[in-house]
Amino acid sequence: MGRKKLKKKKKATGLTIYHYVACLVMAAVLAIFIHSFFPKYTATCANTLSCNEGPKLLVENDGYGIFNNKKVSAPKIDLTLEKYKSKVLGVNSKPNEKHIYVNLKTQTLYAYEGKNLFMKTFISSGKWFPTPTGEFTIWVKIRSTRMSGGSGDDYYDLPNVPYVMFFSNDKVPASAGFSLHGAYWHNNFGHPMSHGCVNMRTTDVAKLYEWATPISDGLTTHASGDNPGTKVTIYDGDSI
């Protein structure tokens, strides 16, 4: 009788450490399960208006742009000059040796061909929307296009955006419209300024455009198995 009382007493003495551990494990599993239904980073379109139409070659030499609530003169583009451009040294190297790195912390772009540094220059990444980080591949190069987006005071509509290299990966699809491109409407490189894209000086991006793959075959060039795009690594760190 005494032993039974003792056993019952033992049962009634409270939670053991195992109970607490079991609770925490269950809680962790439950939290992860619920969190899996939360929306992940969604790479919404970098240019919220123009990306609905998809990237396309557009050269509009008679128009003007809107930026900061003001008219902006877009640089004229003479496409007849394109065929006379001299090849940039190294442009015929194997595509898989080329790699572009963008350091968001220092706002610096590095372009390497193997171990050789082809270019180091300041850029402007996302100020109003973050530039995505990760490993990407250029999937299309377009000589000029129109980009528009934002709203209210932030609305912009910019024709003749030059030397556009769209990049993507499995998390940031092509439809999100992130790209490296020239920016003629500001000159504050070395500091974030964009809506997600990587802005470059026109003189720099022109050289990079000719150097990067896919090797240009006309004013719009899609990457393919025979003509793959250059890898682009975008990171937020101190060094490569």
Partner 1 sequence: MMETRYNIALTKRHKFEMVVIIILATTLGLFGLIQKDKKVNERVSAVVPTVMPTDTVESSAMESPDGSKILTLKKQLTTKNRQKYSFYTSSTGDGERLIFYKELEKGGYISIPYNAWSPDNKYVFLKETTSTFNNYYVFLSSGNPISDNAQYVNIQELFSQKLPDYKIVDVTGWADPALIIVNTQPNEGGQNISYWYDVTGQSFIRLGTYFD
Contact footprint for partner 1 (CB under 8 A): 5, 8, 11-12, 14-15, 19-20, 23-24, 26-28, 30-32, 34-35, 38, 40-41, 67-68, 70, 72-73, 75, 104-108, 122, 127, 130, 133, 184-193, 201-203, 236
Q: Which is nearer to partner 1, 1 or 115 (CB)?
A: 1
Shortest CB 75 distance to partner 1, Å:
6
Shortest CB 38 distance to partner 1, Å:
7
Q: Which is nearer to partner 1, 54 or 190 (CB)?
A: 190
Query: How far does Cα 3 stand from its chain's mean position?
Result: 71
Q: Which is nearer to partner 1, 81 or 115 (CB)?
A: 81
Q: Which is nearer to partner 1, 106 or 137 (CB)?
A: 106
Shortest CB 179 distance to partner 1, Å:
18
Burial of 229 (0-12, 13-18, 19+ CB in 10 A): buried
Q: Using alpha carbons only, give the angle 165, 167, 171 rounded to the nearest 5 degrees.
A: 165
Shortest CB 86 distance to partner 1, Å:
15
Q: Using alpha carbons only, give the angle 193, 197, 198 rounded to the nearest 5 degrees.
A: 75
Shortest CB 108 distance to partner 1, Å:
7
Long-range contacts of 181-187 (CB under 8 A, 24+ apart): 181/147, 181/205, 182/206, 183/124, 184/72, 184/74, 184/75, 184/160, 185/65, 185/67, 185/72, 185/156, 185/158, 186/67, 186/124
Q: Which is nearer to partner 1, 26 or 117 (CB)?
A: 26
State how far the Cα of 74 lies from the Cα of 71, in Å rounded to an integer: 9
